[in-house]
Structure 1
């Protein structure tokens, strides 16, 4: 009897030890987390739309790849580069964190680019547009972008403005790395067209309306016939409101970067106010508001509604750019993962996915287009290697009376 009790007790203890250790190990092996490091405070619409796009693409594979579950963890950097770096450090410390998606703002990526590449953080960029983001100063380049590239954006905005008959542009840019990269490309594009900007003014985040009015009056006095604006939603709303409140003969057309679409611009600047300003901005050339949605796009929209509680119809997808780019980029990431054999080791798997992203064997259907090997190995002689889009994928857009972004043919 004693022997049987001893054996039974031994088996129970062994089972308890097994139960206490085995499931947690298996669970750890079966999960990877995607970090979304974005501004959920000041540019909420853009960040939420990126999250929705990632979730919809993951839903197509039931959030699982090779038996490993994938989920999304949101990290709010509040447009602060130091806070973004802390999120990146948390990512490095998290053994189950595999990939980082970035948000709308370029400055956090510009400030932390070397840190990202030195630590081999696999980062996918579905919005931030500053040109240097994907151009590494070393052989290590871990940032992949599917978005507008400011190396081309300035040229595109300038080209479209000149096609509309403007010839005296004034540059009104936010004083950040993003603004400075656009100054370079816009100035060069205008130079190629034998045009020199009438003037240049810088502004900081949080610029006030009175300051904006003074600047706008000075711009009008310079003889400019159009303003090239580079800024985010908050400052875009301030300058647009200031323009509306000026006498009609002082108001100038605005051709803007897309930063104004990533926040609450349409809540601050009503449709009635927007009718008083000629405002257009750069976009990429797909929208769920198109009348001729393909069967593929219709299926994606249906899945988006099914997978996201806050989407009831296509008009609930605010800041569509974020959704569209994040969805396409997640599909490309999934294709890269399917091309390799995951090991469960974060460092090994991120290296495998990095290599696969640069050498995709099969095309990937997206909302914007069918991607044929969107990325290639990076080198200084191949500066566009980590850019999935080209200038051919851009268009101009505007807000309609329903606060929606519509593309201009």
Structure 2
């Protein structure tokens, strides 16, 4: 079922019991034709909301209810959506989608209106490191400054000493460059950096420019569209010209195996991830969620979950938010912002958190949660060690 029809169904359902709803907003790239990250985040939200409501809701019996808006990957539209969400009574927080450039442009509005922004995907460091006090952004996701060392270490372990870097000419690309500069002394030699534009129809010229500098591997920061173009083009080259690629996780925000086809297995590509249903650190909640996905959505195996990190992050972040609402004792957004820093002892899908957030730390994950994964022949994303 496509996300839009699923969301229409969710929004048409009446509350299961009495009490005025407490609303959660979700602003994402709903109409983006290749994105699956929005669907994964929505699914994580839905699963968590269903569990919370079945257990009595929040604030003594009020059900959580989702309101979804499409920013069309356009920052101006995203800002308008935040303003609309802020005008909704009893809306306590907004979840964002995967596009860092949209979220970065929303930050001023988020803080001016005092509405908590919960980030289950977008990775630019400055989303959280935004300079605002109090800070209304809370992230359970990756940071570019965590992704870059993991990608570089992956290439280094393969014996690669010289790398080329492909970056999008966006705020996300500039954030990734800052992350690279921060660890450049410990990185393989960077032979050249090439900038491309979203919407480019070919990546081959950029790739050849890096190949010509003597690069032995590639660091790729890309979403599914440009990443799939590169992989398909590389598969047409002689095997000795297909350099190993360490990719940021943007490519996993779409159905990358379908978009690349057989070419994916002809290229040495690994991608950053933060969670795997194939090797969960907490098997019991993973098994429970897989059973719910099978019963309600026809998903019969972990390999069928598109953009699994989006689902996992949104699921845990929703449960943390529900605890914060109850700690705040109201739908007052400033009180909920403060309460998010006070949540304790949450055992989630991803791991157990003694304290997900604090006054000094609005990042629920840590560098140790980041690993490299590969796409198996069946399209499943697994740890690189499992794919050998």
Q: Is the shorter-chain TM-score for this pair beyond 0.5, marking a shared fold?
A: yes
Secondary structure of 1:206 counterpart: coil
Unpaired runs of 5+ residues, structure 2, are: 1-16
- 227-236 or 350-359: bigger deviation: 350-359
Structure 1 residues 264 and 167 mapped into 2: Cα distance closer, same or farther (>3 Å)? same
The residue number in structure 2 matching 1:336 is 324
Q: Judging changes above 3 Å, is the alpha-carbon distance between structure 1 residues 47 and 230 closer, same or farther for their aligned structure 2 residues? A: same
**8 Å CA contact retained: 1:207, 1:238:** no
Structure 1 runs (4+) deviating above 6 angstroms are none
SS of corresponding position for 1:53: helix
- How many correspondences in the alignment? 365
Q: CA deviation at 1:34?
A: 1.2
Confirm or deny: 8 A CA contact 1:187 1:197 kept in the other structure. no
Out of 239, 256, 262, the residue aligned to residue 230 of structure 2 is 239
Query: Cα distance 1:365–1:181, how it changes in 2: closer, same or farther (>3 A)?
Result: same
Q: In the alignment, which residue of structure 2 is the partner of 1:16?
A: none
Q: Secondary structure at the match of 1:269?
A: helix
CA distance in structure 2 between the aligned counterparts of 1:82 and 1:393, rounded to whole angstroms: 33
Report whether the alignment pairs 1:395 with 2:388.
no
Task: Report the aligned-residue RMSD.
Answer: 1.9
- What SS does the aligned partner of 1:71 have? strand
Counterpart in 1 of 2:20? 30
Higher radius of gyration, 1 or 2: 1
Secondary structure at the counterpart of residue 52 of structure 1: helix
1:158 touches 1:190 (CA, 8 Å); kept in 2? no
Q: CA deviation at 1:289?
A: 2.3
Q: 1:292, CA displacement in angstroms? A: 8.3
Match of 2:200 in 1: 207
1:10-21 correspondence to structure 2 within 5 Å: none
Residue 120 (structure 1) aligns with: 114
Q: Secondary structure at the match of 1:94?
A: coil
Q: Quote the residue 1:297 is aligned against.
A: 286
Matches within 5 A, 1:4-403: 30-42=20-32, 43-62=34-53, 64-65=57-58, 66-193=60-187, 195-209=188-202, 212-270=203-261, 272-284=262-274, 286-290=275-279, 294-306=283-295, 308-309=296-297, 311-342=299-330, 346=331, 348=332, 350-360=333-343, 362-377=344-359, 382=360, 385-403=361-379
Match of 1:62, SS?
helix
User: Is the partner of 2:278 in helix, strand or coil?
Assistant: coil
